[in-house]
Amino acid sequence: MRKIFNNFTKNPKDDILSGITVSLAMIPEVVAFAFVIGIDPLVALSGAFMIGLITALFGGRPGLISGAAGAVAVIFADLIIEGHEKGLAMEVPVDNMQYIYLFAAVILMGIIQVLAGVFKVGKFVRLIPHPVMMGFVNGLAIVIFWAQVKMFRNRTAVVDENGVTDYVASYMEGSQLYIMIGLVALTMAIVFLLPKLTKKIPAALTAIIVVTAIVILGDIEGVSTVGSYIRDGGGTGLKGELPTFNTELWEKLPLGFETFKFILPYAFLAAAVGLIESLMTMNLVDELTETRGSGNRECVAQGAGNIVSGLFGGTGGCGMIGQTVININAGGRGRLSGVMMSLTLLVFLLFTDQYIEQVPIAALVGVMFMMVIETFAWSSFRILGKIPKSDALVLIIVSVVTVVFDLAIAVFVGVIISALVFAWESAKRIRARKSLKEDGTKVYEIWGPLFFGSVTDFNMKFDPKNDPDKVEIDFIEARVQDHSGIEALRGVANKYLDLGKEIKLTHLSPECKQLLIKNNPEFETIIESSIEDPRYHIATDLLDAED
């Protein structure tokens, strides 16, 4: 138990105040994404509470904030539409069938994430190069910025001739726009200037309270608030209840292969996106706090949070970089900050809805704008001309793909490009220094890695037909890295043997010798062993062991 709650809090005041601040910043973003995918905001807010609480207590990164994130929510948009149509097409039509499918998909998503943690998939986050990380941060900052720009819009209900209500958004104009800009600027100014005067008062929370007080006491009209924002989008307000297990709801779920086949693609993609965003956010917090979290433990906690959320009627979620940065900058370092965020969010929903609904959207937008400024890696502009062109290209591509598509695709693209660049650069490092011994033996001293990318260059180093009758290939400065390298070495040796020439292979690792002799027993006579032979493993060891 002591290990579970390690790093619960070292500074209760900072953790509590930062948790309250983050919960306020959480509401508009979660509500906005709920509208995007067409679900009740209370479903998204309930998910944010449950996921945030479980990951805060049991996750691998104290200070990391999780909730109903947009990156995951967007994946379920098509499921909501198709699920509703499936419900209406049943023998006994079910009007809210999309929610049942959503909750089932969230549970399956959580199971996949738990399995990822159990099988230690979290460690693969180490394979993400630094340019990909910087591109991810920049792209996500732009996405969050654009989401806040959309808050400068009014939504108007329009009823068509069939009685169907739709909501049309249009950007603010005139005095309403100027008031919005002024309140946002005031919020940003407080967040920026207050820490220069004192760090004992949380700047973001203070800014929200001050701006809210100005709007209420000044009786400023035309200001969009949290309450009006929800109602303009078709919601009924923030008033909610404690999440409960709805047996009646689950009885309507048609258990079987068809349901599993329907929800699996959504669950798998959501699980992948959720883990990538959570682990990338964890890496960012590691850098900000100069500490290290546990990726595998975070995978399990994220999965557990999503399972509980699905069972109790909440949507899926993951680590949220925006709220996490706000938390860290406000002094939240322990698990208590995440716990406080979740509990405060629940208290807001149950008891203080009428107060939270009066908070101006402008105050929350101002806080998020400051977070965007602090999140964006401005140093990337300075280093673009100083780093390798390939790294600069990866940084830009990841940023663009994050904005245009989503985080998961951006990270995969960045890692693949980085891997291809690395393979190409490594392939050009293979060298062969030639010399002759006194007895006429030609020696090839190989330098560099021998793997699939360098095989072609390696083969071009030799001239079996014109070489003398005795040849020695020395690998003391080289490293055979994969099965392609083994096959290339075997092919070169066989060319000399087929010509009746004598060849010696020296300074190979025990694994290389074993794999060469396995398919060519006669190689035992051409491979020389010595105490200087290197010891390393190659990529085919486990595969050959299983064969």
DSSP H/E element including 75: none
Strands 470-480 and 318-319: unpaired
Out of 5-9, 44-48, 78-82, 324-328, least confident range: 5-9
Out of 164-173, 269-278, 296-305, 429-438, least confident range: 164-173
CB 496 within 8 A of CB 441: no
CB 446 within 8 A of CB 484: no
Question: CA–CA distance from 52 to each of 23, 42, 63, 449 (Å)?
Answer: 10, 15, 11, 46
Reported as a single tens digit per residue, the pLDDT across 62-86 is 999 999 877 787 788 788 888 888 8
Q: Which residues of 408-433 are buried (b: 16+ CB within 10 A; e: fewer)?
A: bebbebbbebbeebeeeeebeebebe
CB 330 within 8 A of CB 14: yes
C-alpha angle 373/375/377, rounded to 5°? 95
Reported as a single tens digit per residue, the pLDDT across 102-125 is 999 999 999 999 999 999 887 776
Closest by CA to 526, choosing from 545, 508, 541, is 508
The burial of 255, by beta-carbon neighbours within 10 Å (0-12 exposed, 13-18 middle, 19 or more buried), is given as exposed
Name the strands in the sheet holding 502-506, side by side, starting at the edge strand that comes first in the sequence: 431-436, 442-450, 470-480, 502-506
Q: Which residues of 289-305 are buried (b: 16+ CB within 10 A; e: fewer)?
A: eeeebbbbbbbbbbbbb
pLDDT over 80 (residue 512): yes
Average pLDDT over residues 523-529: 87
Q: pLDDT class for 188, splitting at 50, 70, 90?
A: very high
* The two structure tokens encoding residue 469: 């009758």
Q: pLDDT class for 545, splitting at 50, 70, 90?
A: very low
- pLDDT, residue 435, reads 93
Q: pLDDT class for 135, splitting at 50, 70, 90?
A: confident
Q: pLDDT class for 159, splitting at 50, 70, 90?
A: low
Identify residue 302 by its one-letter amino acid code. Answer: Q
Residues 6+ apart with CB under 8 A from 368: 25, 29, 144, 147, 148, 322
Per the prediction, the chain carries an average pLDDT of 84
CB 446 within 8 A of CB 489: no
Q: Which of 11-25, 131-145, 177-191, 212-226 has the highest mean pLDDT?
A: 177-191
Average pLDDT over residues 169-175: 86
Average pLDDT over residues 413-430: 86
Q: What is d(CA 96, CA 101) in angstroms, rounded to the nearest whole number?
A: 9
- pLDDT, residue 455, reads 92
- pLDDT, residue 341, reads 94
- pLDDT, residue 212, reads 92
Q: Which of 36-45, 149-158, 258-267, 512-521 has the highest mean pLDDT?
A: 258-267
Average pLDDT over residues 395-403: 89
467: how many CB neighbours lie within 10 A of its CB?
18
User: CA 449, 455, 456, 457: dihedral to nearest 10 degrees?
Assistant: 20
What is the 3-state secondary structure of 238-288? Answer: CCCCCCCCCHHHHCCCCCCHHHHHHHHHHHHHHHHHHHHHHHHHHHHHHHH
- The pTM for the full model equals 0.69
Q: Which of 163-167, 272-276, 431-435 has the highest mean pLDDT?
A: 431-435
Q: What is d(CA 175, CA 181) in angstroms, rounded to the nearest whole number?
A: 10
Q: Between 294 and 32, whose confidence is greater?
A: 294
Question: CA–CA distance from 56 to each of 9, 62, 321, 500 (Å)?
Answer: 11, 7, 14, 70
Query: Percent of the chain, pLDDT > 90?
Result: 32
Residues in the chain: 547
Angle between helices 174-197 and 203-217 (to 10 degrees): 140
What is the 8-class DSSP label of residue 201? S
Q: pLDDT class for 370, splitting at 50, 70, 90?
A: confident
- pLDDT, residue 238, reads 61
Out of 31-45, 363-377, 427-441, 517-531, least confident range: 31-45
Phi, then psi, of 319 in degrees rounded to 5:
-65, 140
What the chain holds in terms of domains, given with CATH numbers, is 12-383 (no CATH), 428-546 (3.30.750.24)
174: how many CB neighbours lie within 10 A of its CB?
8
Reported as a single tens digit per residue, the pLDDT across 201-239 is 778 778 888 999 999 999 888 888 877 776 765 556 666
Closest by CA to 233, choosing from 131, 154, 126, is 154
